Amino acid sequence: MTDETQWRAGFACLVGRPNAGKSTLTNALVGDKVAITSSKPQTTRHTIRGIVTREHQQLVLVDTPGLHKPRTLLGERLNDLVRETLLEVDVIGFCMPADQRIGPGDTYIAKDLAELQRAKRVPVVAIATKADAVDRERLAEHLIAIDQLGDWAAIVPCSAVRGDQVDDVLAVLGGYLPPSPAPLYPVDQVSDEDDEKMIAELVREAALEGVRDELPHSLAVVVEELVPREGRPDDDPMLDVRVNVFVERDSQKAIIIGRGGSRLREVGTTARVGIEELLGQKVFLDLHVKVAKDWQRDPKQLQRLGF
C-alpha cells in the first residue's frame, strides 16, 4: 500500500508544431500567465517552466518552441532546444489542435517521439487542444486520427481557453511523475523565469499583436536596464525599464514604430500593464527599436540576443 503523503514530482514537456496551443495550455494548467501567447506561429523562443503544485504532487511544465522544418540558424537552434528538453522529462504531452487536420508536421513530430519512446521509454500523452473551436463530430474525427497516428499512453481532448478538461490533462500527466521526497520548487512558485526574461517576453507579445506574418520571426527583445527610480517615496516606488526591440530591416522598424510613433506607444502601454502586474509596482517603460540586419542567420548576433 502506498504512503498517501508521498510526494510525486517531475517534469512534463508540451510539444507540437507551431501554434498548437502549447503556451495557452501551460498558462491554463498553472492558473497564471507564465508563457506569452499569440496567434502568430513560433511565439515561444525558449523553454519556460510553469510549476503546478497540488496536494502531494508537483508538475513542472516545460513549454518548448514548436518543432518545425527550420529555414534559419535560429530555427535549427530552437529545434535542438526541443530535442534536448525531451531527453530530460518524465512525460511528454503532444498537442494537436482540433481545428486543424493532422498534417505532415504532426507526422514528423510523431516519428521523432516514437524513436524517443523506443530509446528512453518516456510516456507520450496525446492532447487534442482547442476542442472548443469545433463541433462534437469534428472532435470525434480528430480523436480517431490522433489514435491512428501513434501508440499513445492516453488521449485527452481539452479547451485551455474555456478550461474544459484541463484538470483531466493535469491528472493524466501527473500520473506519470516519479515519487519524490519533497517538491522540487517552493509550493507557491509558479515559474522559474527571472523578471528580465518575463519583461522581454511581455514586450514581444505586445509587439506581435496585429503585425504582418513575416515580422514575428524577425523580432527579438532585450532588457537593457532595470533600475529603481531615485527619489521615489518608499510607499510608491517606480522602476525604470529600458528595453531594446530588434528587427532585421528598416521596413520592419517602421512597422513597429507606426505613423508618428503610434504603434510603439500602443506596444508600450499594453506591455507596461503586464509588467506592472508581474512586478507589483509602477513602471516607466522606455522602448527603443533597433535594426540588427539578418540576426536570425548570424551566430554572433544570435548569441548577443540570447540564443
- Is residue 131 part of an annotated ligand binding site? yes
- Is residue 179 part of an annotated ligand binding site? no
Q: Please spell the DSSP secondary structure of the chain, one letter per residue.
A: ---TT-EEEEEEEEE-STTSSHHHHHHHHHTS--S---SSSS---S-EEEEEEETTEEEEEEEPPPP----SHHHHHHHHHHHHHHTT-SEEEEE--TTS---HHHHHHHHHHHHHHHHH---EEEEE--GGGS-HHHHHHHHHHHHHH---SEEEE-BTTTTBTHHHHHHHHHTTPPEESS-SS-TT--B---HHHHHHHHHHHHHHTT--TTSGGG-EEEEEEEEEPTT--TTS-EEEEEEEEEESSHHHHHHHH-GGGHHHHHHHHHHHHHHHHHHTSEEEEEEEEEE-TTGGG-HHHHHHTT-
- Is residue 67 part of an annotated ligand binding site? yes
d(CA 229, CA 238): 5
- Is residue 23 part of an annotated ligand binding site? yes
d(CA 301, CA 307): 9
Closest to 138 measured CA to CA, from 90, 113, 101: 101
- Is residue 129 part of an annotated ligand binding site? yes
- Is residue 45 part of an annotated ligand binding site? no
- Is residue 174 part of an annotated ligand binding site? no
- Is residue 253 part of an annotated ligand binding site? no
- Is residue 64 part of an annotated ligand binding site? yes
- Is residue 18 part of an annotated ligand binding site? yes
- Is residue 103 part of an annotated ligand binding site? no
Contact 82, 63 (CB under 8 A): no
- Is residue 132 part of an annotated ligand binding site? yes
Q: Binding site for GTP: which residues?
A: 16-23, 63-67, 129-132
Q: Binding site: which residues?
A: 16-23, 63-67, 129-132
